[in-house]
Amino acid sequence: MNKLTCLFPLLFLIPLLASCAEKKQVYIVYFGEHKGDKALHEIEEHHHSYLHSVKESEEEARASLLYSYKHSINGFAAELTPDEASKLEKLAEVVSVFKSHPRKYEAHTTRSWEFVGLEEEETDDIDARPLKNDVDDRFRVGRKFLRKAKHGDGIIVGVLDSGVWPESRSFSDKGMGPIPKSWKGICQTGVAFNSSHCNRKIIGARYYVKGYEKYFGAFNVTANKDFLSPRDPDGHGSHTASTAVGRRVYGASALGGFAMGSASGGAPLSRLAVYKACWAKPNEEKVGGNVCLQEDMLAAIDDAIADGVHVISISIGTTDPLPFQQDGIAIGALHAIKRNIVVAASAGNSGPKPGTLSNPAPWIITVGASTLDRAFVGGLALGNGYTIKTESITAFKMDKFAPLVYAANVVVPGIALNDSSQCLPNSLRPELVAGKVVLCLRGAGSRIGKGIEVKRAGGAGMILGNAPANGNEIPSDSHFVATATVTPTVVEKILDYIKTDKNPMAFIKPGKTVYKYTAAPLMTGFSSRGPNVVDPNILKPDITAPGLNILAAWSGADSPSKVSIDQRVADFNIYTGTSMSCPHVSGAIALLKAIHPKWSSAAIRSALMTTAWMTNDEKKPIQDVDGLPANPFALGSGHFRPTKAADPGLVYDASYRAYLLYGCSVNFTDIDPTFKCPSKIPPGYNLNYPSIAIPNLNRTVTVKRTVTNVGIGNWTSTYVFNANPPSGVTVKAIPNVLVFNRIGQKQRFKIVIKPRTDLVLNATEKGQYQFGWFSWTDSDHVVRSPIAVSLA
Ligand SMILES: *[C@@H]1O[C@H](CO)[C@@H](O)[C@H](O)[C@H]1NC(C)=O
Ligand SMILES: *[C@@H]1O[C@H](CO)[C@@H](O)[C@H](O)[C@H]1NC(C)=O
Ligand SMILES: *[C@@H]1O[C@H](CO)[C@@H](O)[C@H](O)[C@H]1NC(C)=O
Ligand SMILES: *[C@@H]1O[C@H](CO)[C@@H](O)[C@H](O)[C@H]1NC(C)=O
Ligand SMILES: *[C@@H]1O[C@H](CO)[C@@H](O)[C@H](O)[C@H]1NC(C)=O
Ligand SMILES: *[C@@H]1O[C@H](CO)[C@@H](O)[C@H](O)[C@H]1NC(C)=O
Ligand SMILES: *[C@@H]1O[C@H](CO)[C@@H](O)[C@H](O)[C@H]1NC(C)=O
């Protein structure tokens, strides 16, 4: 791209920006591990020398550098031309050079912990509070577990997100002990954030803005609607942090009193370290308008590792998965894993389409989202006598029946046919809507925005109809008019009624919080799905946790609906996404770390995965949005069950070097100067993972695994193999009995997966994934792993 192209087309603003941006852009130059032979200042000089080798002058080199990653990650972020980037890529020691893109993180809890059996006052005496008879055994186990984990005390959880709202009661340090001596982090001050905003709960806070400023210009607090500090303008960061490690807050509820109860993080006595790497998009309606730049996230992860966190929680992902050598989260996480820091990340909100999953690296715990057994039940009644229970957390009420209209019948001229049902901004005709209930469909535009449009046009209420892709999953939002959200089947009924009745009427009853309303968990439709498109030899996601309608702390600078005309302020808010399910798992990891401080990150993941639930609270398979049993590309190993994970029996362990060896199978190589890929590279599916995925199986495949006994005591335990093979293959283990007589003992085994010769596949069946599982069982444990294979 020459200068002319950049200056020339003023009339084509977008291409102009695009081509100029291409000319000079932020790239990340990644070297892998440090050799360990240089002091910190020497590392930066070393990075400079690389940069200088492609830049004209010393000054230019210095001016172009954003970050020099020095602690664990070896690399730098700098402004380069494509030409300079490709020159650097060819140099020795350079692992990869990749462009940073302003990738949007996907926006993407009272009830959630009770639901998995963890609900206890932090300082509660187990025996002092009698358990109700109707409370199942999970709670007794849960209390013991929490006590054993000291509610996460001693564990430090780093959260990469949009910052924190330090005044929230979820982050109070009342009664907490001194900051762990191992902590090396800082409390970085800035706008509306001084050193008093850190405490014994929020023990560290930092922010990373250089990459953001390169894309969006110098930070302007007013225009950016953000704080140049660790303070959270958005709510997302406070929500995720409080879900993982928030203190117990009694009487927490969203606006309107929904979900009233006590809100608590999974590990309420763990410490929080805040790494703000996500910022509000300037000059945009703030619905989902956050960006996290890879160079900022890498700097955050590099610091988190050096600061001494034990767990990193990342509710951030890309919409299209990147190869590992270009994925900042994957790179950062690998360095964290080397120091035995456990990294959990969200799977993304691009489901239910297959192959949409982000954060697919096997050294990350990838978390999908499922539902809770809590609902906000209201009602919808039609003039023909039809009534149905619906869900709503909207505080607005209707007092009588009102006329009912379908949005598509009351739009202003010029709205495209496919958008006419969507209640997009300024699409409705007030003279046809005033005082009426409007049926709006999902598909385009935000859910909250549709209610705002109905309100603008003077409507009395809104029926929000799911599109078929949304299935039966009902997200609860704080709408601006009385709202009932309904499934596609009900949409059909309502449309039919509107068509056939001369005077259709509707009434929306406000919601109330109800527990055990439907069988739970259910898989959510939005949760991103496998197969893993970066490497189909690794089954992803790993696990699911609650991600629908989660109540947690909120920012005092943002309204619960996140739209600018909303002036409401809420301490707590109900929010939905895999962003919400990820910190559930991070909280559980903190508890497991507290119980088993020596377990590796792979052992913790294995424990969570092999003990997960595949069935709901009615002992039936967890359902997907289509009503069928959810498969491992949605659920992973299942729904997390922290209490069981503390005693998994066996674990599938994997070291940092095992990941480096795995990297050889996917061209993610030369990361560590002390590690060279062997000449014969083992297939990726031989990574010692607690699940198995084999794409395009066309012959017998033998998969190698090793399990480590982490059971209790040194007596003999005998594990027996059991399998439910995917259709079209047989699954055998060699050997099929494993005997252990001490803790820490390892046993190797092979799984032989063989296509059935008696089957002739037709074209559709070829390439289609089939699912099954295998397990090792002794008298106390079932160590279960899902299998996915597609036959060639
Ligand atoms: C920090 O700011 C708060 C107001 O938000 C103020 O009350 C407090 O005194 C400040 N602390 C320091 C150390 O400046
Ligand atoms: C910051 O943004 C505000 C509002 O857009 C604008 O009035 C102001 O001039 C900006 N300040 C700077 C230093 O650019
Ligand atoms: C309607 O079509 C337009 C243009 O193709 C698209 O942007 C929009 O998302 C569609 N709306 C729906 C509801 O599918
Ligand atoms: C890995 O690199 C080799 C040689 O550069 C190439 O042939 C192969 O396609 C690459 N594989 C992947 C998965 O990128
Ligand atoms: C099976 O597929 C692999 C690649 O996926 C190929 O290399 C191999 O030749 C195939 N084997 C048979 C028996 O078709
Ligand atoms: C189990 O045996 C090993 C080796 O004999 C010993 O080091 C360890 O302390 C024993 N553990 C328990 C729980 O008895
Ligand atoms: C392939 O077989 C499946 C069942 O085994 C059947 O449902 C499907 O219709 C078949 N497809 C074709 C193209 O014959």
Distances (CA, A) of 25 to 79, 85, 494, 612: 5, 10, 52, 44
Catalytic annotation present for 579:
yes
Residue with CA closest to ligand 1 atom 1: 194
Looking only at the bridges linking them, the beta strands covering 572-575 and 271-276 are unpaired
Which residues form ligand 6's pocket by a CB distance below 6 Å? Answer: 713-714, 742-743
pLDDT for residue 521: 84
> Class assignment of domain 138-369+522-645?
alpha beta
pLDDT for residue 618: 79
Candidates 96, 108, 161, 313; catalytic one: 161
pLDDT for residue 631: 96
Residue with CA closest to ligand 7 atom 9: 764
Residue 792: other Cβ atoms inside 10 A: 11
Cis peptide before 178 (omega within 30 of 0): no
pLDDT for residue 381: 93
The arithmetic mean of pLDDT across residues 345-374, rounded, is 91
pLDDT, tens digit, for every residue of 91-119? Answer: 988 999 998 876 544 444 434 545 444 44
For ligand 3, the distance from its centroid to the CA atom of residue 605, given in whole angstroms, is 40
Q: Select the more confidently predicted residue: 138 or 342.
A: 342
Candidate from 295-309, 362-376, 467-481 with smallest mean pLDDT: 467-481
Atom of ligand 1 nearest to the CA of 197: 1
Catalytic annotation present for 780:
no
Q: Select the more confidently predicted residue: 198 or 41.
A: 198
pLDDT for residue 74: 96
Catalytic annotation present for 236:
yes
Contact 777, 720 (CB under 8 A): yes
Domains in the chain: boundaries: 24-99, 138-369+522-645, 375-514, 688-791
Copy the structure tokens of residue 469: 């892709």
pLDDT, tens digit, for every residue of 607-636? Answer: 999 999 988 877 889 989 888 999 999 999
CA distance 497 to 343: 51
Q: One-letter amino acid identity for 15? A: P
pLDDT for residue 616: 81
The arithmetic mean of pLDDT across residues 515-526, rounded, is 77
Q: In which residue are the tokens 């160590």 written?
A: 783
> Class assignment of domain 688-791?
mainly beta
Please indicate whether residue 556, judged by its CB atom, sits closer than 6 Å to ligand 1.
no
To the nearest whole percent, how much of the chain has pLDDT over 70?
87
pLDDT for residue 21: 42
Domain at 24-99, CATH homologous superfamily: Peptidase S8 propeptide/proteinase inhibitor I9 (3.30.70.80)
For ligand 6, the distance from its centroid to the CA atom of residue 713, given in whole angstroms, is 7
Residue 721 CB contacts under 8 Å (≥ 6 apart), including other chains? 733, 736, 737, 738, 749, 774, 775, 776
User: In the structure, what pLDDT confidence band is assigned to residue 564 with cuts at 50, 70 and 90?
Assistant: low
Candidates 48, 236, 239, 479; catalytic one: 236
Mean pLDDT for the chain? 87
For ligand 5, the distance from its centroid to the CA atom of residue 728, given in whole angstroms, is 17
Q: Give the ligand at the shortest distance from the Cα of 220.
A: 2
Candidates 170, 229, 264, 579; catalytic one: 579
For ligand 1, the distance from its centroid to the CA atom of residue 193, given in whole angstroms, is 8
Please indicate whether residue 467, judged by its CB atom, sits closer than 6 Å to ligand 3.
no
Indicate the CATH number of 375-514 among 3.20.20.140, 3.30.1280.10, 3.50.30.30, 3.30.43.10.
3.50.30.30
For ligand 3, the distance from its centroid to the CA atom of residue 462, given in whole angstroms, is 21
pLDDT, tens digit, for every residue of 459-477? Answer: 999 999 999 888 877 777 7
pLDDT for residue 193: 97
Atom of ligand 4 nearest to the CA of 323: 14
